[in-house]
Amino acid sequence: MTKTTIGIFGGGQLGRMMAQAALPLNIQCIFFEASLDCPSAALGKIISAKSDDALNKFIESADVFSLEFENTPLTDVDILTQKKNLYPPRQALAIAQNRLLEKALFDELNIPVAAYRAVDSLLSLEQAVNDLDLPIVLKTATGGYDGKGQFVLHEKNQIEQAWAELGPAKSLIAESFVKFSREVSIIAVRGQDGEIRTWDLAENHHHHGILSHSIIPAPNSQALQPVAEDYVTRLLNHLNYVGVLTLELFVTEQGLYANEMAPRVHNSGHWSIEGAICSQFENHIRAVAGLPLGSTETLKPTVMVNIIGQHPNCAEVLALTGAHLHLYNKTERCGRKLGHITLMPNQQEQLSDLCRKLAVILPNPLALTSDMCID
């Protein structure tokens, strides 16, 4: 097999895990990243985005390119794609960077979404409140992650406050508040030959806007799985997508509603490293490199838990039978994702007990809630 080098925009933990999956395939990853001490530094060469002629050096350093975060500058992508291939395609990246474009694409493909309005002034925000009723969620159309760049309006007297906080962004989107019972995500991969494979739905739980933990397969999701697969397949084919794509969804009484898509490997898919025959990271690397895709079959029921803010006692975690620890080489900071733990006991009935034991070990009890247990 000819050795391939993949250039990755970004050097965070997603790039780190992509590189870990690439090495057994004799594929090397190189990263375009501002920080030389990023999580991916131990897995491949870092080309500092701050250095002279950095982008051109990066372009010349690899055979094919990908990314680990959707806010990769389109100006860089445009220069790159004049010479080399980028997967996923530019169109997917541009749409994912703008919530208004994203919602318009969902509408075009008949993927249900909450009612929304574009907002670019205080007057248009007032009109959106009248059109959509309260509560609504006001978001910046670009940027924002892990709950940032959002304001939930419950009362009309909050309109001026919401505009004062988010209005300087100028381009905003107001969405009707979706009454949902839970959040799920579908992760899929599409190869260069058009083959598509999907993983089981994950049920996702958040704390302060940050993913706390995911349960796989999502409980009581047999009827939801084919619907979610249909929606993500529409997106993949329409975009002529190559690589892993994630679609976040709300479960409502009216069915599944799309929240947003992520053109990359996703936090709710970290479980697949141990929990699936072929992980999201390996299949993404396979797709980018033009290799056959691997099976996405789930090996056994799994819970993935994020380590947020503080590191646990690693020895205590590793003493739990069925616990797999992944650390990202990041310093502690409030709200920062430092690693994750995948729980996979031999017997399904042991999973809830294992979750309870882990909840006691983690230094931040707010990262876990009682709904983690899956009795």
Q: Within 72-174, where are the H helices?
A: 74-80, 90-96, 99-108, 122-132, 159-166
Residue 259 marked ligand-binding: yes
Helix (H, G, I), strand (E, B) or coil at 183: strand
Residue 57 marked ligand-binding: no
Q: Which two tokens stand for residue 123?
A: 């007057």
Residue 266 marked ligand-binding: no
Q: Could you count the other beta carbons within 10 Å of the beta carbon of residue 368? A: 24
Residue 148 marked ligand-binding: yes
Helix (H, G, I), strand (E, B) or coil at 287: helix
Q: E strand or H helix at 210, and its extent?
A: strand 210-216
CA distances from 18 to 40, 52, 287, 367 (A): 9, 27, 12, 25
Residue 294 marked ligand-binding: no
Residue 322 marked ligand-binding: no
Residue 178 marked ligand-binding: yes
Residue 16 marked ligand-binding: no
Q: E strand or H helix at 314, and its extent?
A: helix 314-318
Give me the residues paired with residue 47 across strands: 32
State yes or no: cis peptide before 39, omega within 30 of 0: no
Residue 146 marked ligand-binding: yes
Residue 250 marked ligand-binding: no
Antiparallel, parallel or unpaired: β 46-48 and 27-33 = parallel
Residue 139 marked ligand-binding: yes
Residue 251 marked ligand-binding: no
70-76 long-range contacts, CB within 8 A, separation 24+: 70/96, 70/97, 70/262, 70/263, 70/264, 71/97, 71/143, 72/9, 72/10, 76/9, 76/32
Q: In sequence order, what E strands does 217-264 have?
A: 243-252, 255-262
Q: Which two tokens stand for residue 287?
A: 């797709």
Residue 260 marked ligand-binding: yes
Residue 83 marked ligand-binding: no
Task: Please enumerate, by residue number, every residue annotated as part of a binding site.
Answer: 99, 139, 144-150, 175-178, 183, 206, 259-260
Task: Please enumerate, by residue number, every residue annotated as part of a binding site for ATP.
Answer: 99, 139, 144-150, 175-178, 183, 206, 259-260
